[in-house]
Amino acid sequence: MSPLVATSLAKRFKGGLPPSPPHPATIQTVGGRRWPYRYLELCRATCGDRFTLYPLDRMPMVFVSSPQDIRDVLTGNPAKLHPGAGGRVIAPLIGEHSFMLLEQEDHVAGRKAIQPAFHKEMVRRQAAALVDAVDRTVESWPHDTVIELQPRIRALTLGVILRIIFSDHPRQLTALQHQLMGMLAVSDTLLLQGPRLRHLPYWRGVWRRFLEQRHRVDQMLYSLIRTRRAEVDRSHHDLLDLLLDAHAADGAPLSSREIRDNLMSMILAGHETTTGEVAWTLQLLAHNPEAQSRLAAELDCDPNTDYLAATIHETMRRRPVFAFAIPRDVVAPVEIGGFTYQPGVQLVACTYLLHHNPELYARPHEFEPERFLDSRVQTRTWLPWGGGRKHCLGRHFAMFEVEALLRSVIEKCAVRPVGSRIERPRWRSAIIVPGGGCQVVLHARRRQAGGGMLTVGRKNGSKD
């Protein structure tokens, strides 16, 4: 159903939908784009735990944020709530045949084929190589000068996920990585969210360049698929092997196009998210020197300190890369929280608002890793991985990679802020990242036997 038809249908049922903030569609669209976290909080302050937004170019979106509503949306009947359709914003990147965009048994079959590559055991096998790549990269970062960390982290995480997908490091991987970095630059524009912009003079050129870059990436992916298919005895045990052996729900082997789309899905999901979350953690640590000192001191005593996981859990609460789980399209009437939703609207489980509910988290706007130290994370109130049959497929790998990166940075460096405020959030395709590229100053740090932090080199006093 087109967004226009959906909006006019929903307006007819307006009485049946939760309230909407008193802003026209343009303001709702701009508010959500420009101030993603803050606008959500404003809507909740105005309308309560459930509200409806009518963004331009999209179906009406009903945001829910109580633990019960969120649970009901995430675990709702997949014949009534379609999560695949909710991911269509990234379809130009990952392709229409990606398992992430499919529904019901097609989606389940796609997930099943991919899951083994990111199982805990597989992650353990990759651990040493990953830690080595992380340490070498972090050691190469310049000290005592302002640097933008996000592109550097992205280059690293992209390299890591490519090695997991195509384990044997073919020469093409460097070229593929380069082309992908160019192609994914489109994620920083509004072109994925606003398809109509693609027809305007300036944006037409940007979109054409993206299509050319995507074509070059596709040629490389198809070449890798062809070469591997032709091998008589395949034993790489990587994601490409798994996909070549996989079958769709109807039992047919996957076509090269389907394999390409699934590879792109995992390349995208497997590096942009961790990059964003590491960047947010470093921003928060740079601006919270006490938390950083404690983390450094604890890492000096124990590289597996609980404080590291607590810091990451708190970042995922305070600055989640996904402000909400993938929206679910209503395709048959469904009742949640006393409302009966009709086809033509999307239900959005807003985890950001859940994580900032003062009844669930004391001082929700403070960065306090300690809150996760003594208690296990509660899956009712802490849901950065989403839930139900769409819940994050790469979460063990993600946690391992984020921990490895943070451990390496904090063990080697003191991270100082640039400016007096944490960078404002900015959309990058479907996720939210630090808007300035995560600018910081790194200083060399020497490990202290009894804990505590010793900064070596020039101190960035005025910015501390």
Least distance from ligand HEM to the Cβ atom of residue 127, Å: 14
* CB contact at 8 A, 292 and 286: yes
Within 55-114, which residues bind ligand HEM (CB under 6 A)?
Answer: 74, 83, 100, 111
Element (H, E) at 341: strand 339-341
Please report how close the Cβ of residue 350 comes to ligand HEM at its closest, in angstroms: 11
Work out whether 367 is an interface residue with ligand HEM (CB under 6 A). Answer: no
Q: Tell me: does residue 385 bind ligand HEM (CB under 6 A).
A: yes
| Least distance between ligand HEM and beta carbon 36 (Å) | 14
The 21-50 site mask, x for binding ligand HEM (CB under 6 A), equals ------------------------------
443 - beta bridge partners?
Answer: 414
Q: How far is the CB of 331 from ligand HEM (least distance, A)?
A: 16
Closer CB to ligand HEM, 300 or 403, in the complex = 403
Tell me how far the alpha carbon of residue 213 is from its chain's centroid. 22
* Residue count, binding to ligand HEM (CB under 6 A): 28
Pick one of 6, 269, 285, 308: the residue that binds ligand HEM (CB under 6 A). Answer: 269
List the one residue out of 261, 395, 260, 418 whose CA is nearest residue 321. Answer: 395
| Min CB(329)–ligand HEM separation in Å | 12
In DSSP notation, 89-107 reads GGHHHH-TT-GGG--HHHH
Q: Choose the stretch contacting ligand HEM; rule: CB under 6 A; options: 188-196, 264-272, 367-375, 411-419.
A: 264-272
Tell the residue number behind the tokens 């909407």, with chain if given.
Answer: 20
CA distance 206 to 328: 30
Q: Is the dihedral of CA 315, 316, 320, 324 positive or negative?
A: negative
* DSSP, residue by residue, 306-333: HHHHHHHHHHHHHS-S-SSPPPEEE-S-
User: CB of 389: closest distance to ligand HEM in angstroms?
Assistant: 7
C-alpha Rg value of the chain to the nearest Å: 22
- Kindly report the CA angle at 74 between 191 and 344, in degrees rounded to 5? 55
Taking the C-alpha atoms of residue 140 and residue 350, their distance in angstroms, rounded to an integer, is: 38
Residue 176: how many other CB atoms lie within 10 Å: 22
Task: Give the residue carrying structure tokens 């343009």.
Answer: 26
Rounded CA separation 417/286 (Å): 5
Residue 421, amino acid: R
For residue 171, with 0-12 CB atoms within 10 Å meaning exposed, 13-18 middle and 19 or more buried, which class applies? exposed
Residue 398 or residue 441: which is nearer to ligand HEM going by CB? 398
Q: Sketch the per residue contact string, 390 through 429, with ligand HEM: x for CB under 6 A, - otherwise.
A: xxxxx--xx---x---------------------------
Q: With binding defined as CB under 6 A, does residue 321 bind ligand HEM?
A: yes
Token pair in block for residue 129: 């190589």
User: Candidates 183-191, 329-337, 383-391, 441-449 — which segment interacts with ligand HEM by CB under 6 A?
Assistant: 383-391
| Cα–Cα distance list, 150 to 176, 208, 347, 436 (Å) | 19, 26, 31, 9
Q: How far is the CB of 51 from ligand HEM (least distance, A)?
A: 19
Confirm or reject binding of residue 434 to ligand HEM (CB under 6 A).
Answer: no
Q: Identify which range of 175-183, 200-208, 268-276, 279-287 contacts ligand HEM by CB under 6 A.
A: 268-276
Binding of ligand HEM at residue 322 (CB under 6 A)? yes
Tokens linked to 85: 């359709």
**Which C-beta is closer to ligand HEM: that of 269 or that of 409?**
269
Contact 216, 75 (CB under 8 A): no
Characterize the bridge pairing of strands 346-349 and 61-64. Answer: parallel
Distance from C-alpha of 287 to C-alpha of 367, rounded to nearest angstrom: 10
C-beta of 53 vs 402, nearer to ligand HEM: 402
Binding positions for ligand HEM, 108-127, rule CB under 6 A: 111, 118
Nearest-approach distance from CB 75 to ligand HEM, in angstroms = 9
State yes or no: residue 355 binds ligand HEM (CB under 6 A). Answer: no
Find the shortest distance in angstroms from Cβ 426 to ligand HEM. 17
> Is residue 165 classed as helix, strand or coil in its secondary structure?
helix
Cα-based angle 441, 402, 37 (whole degrees, multiple of 5): 75
| Interface with ligand HEM (CB under 6 A), residue from 3, 67, 170, 387 | 387
Q: Is 274 in the site for ligand HEM (CB under 6 A)?
A: yes
CB of 16 to ligand HEM, least distance (A): 25
Min CB(4)–ligand HEM separation in Å: 25
CB of 400 to ligand HEM, least distance (A): 9
Q: Going residue by residue from 323 to 342, which x/- string records binding to ligand HEM, judged by CB under 6 A?
A: --xx----------------
Would you tell me which residues interact with ligand HEM (CB under 6 A)?
A: 74, 83, 100, 111, 118, 266, 269-270, 273-274, 277, 321-322, 325-326, 384-388, 390-394, 397-398, 402
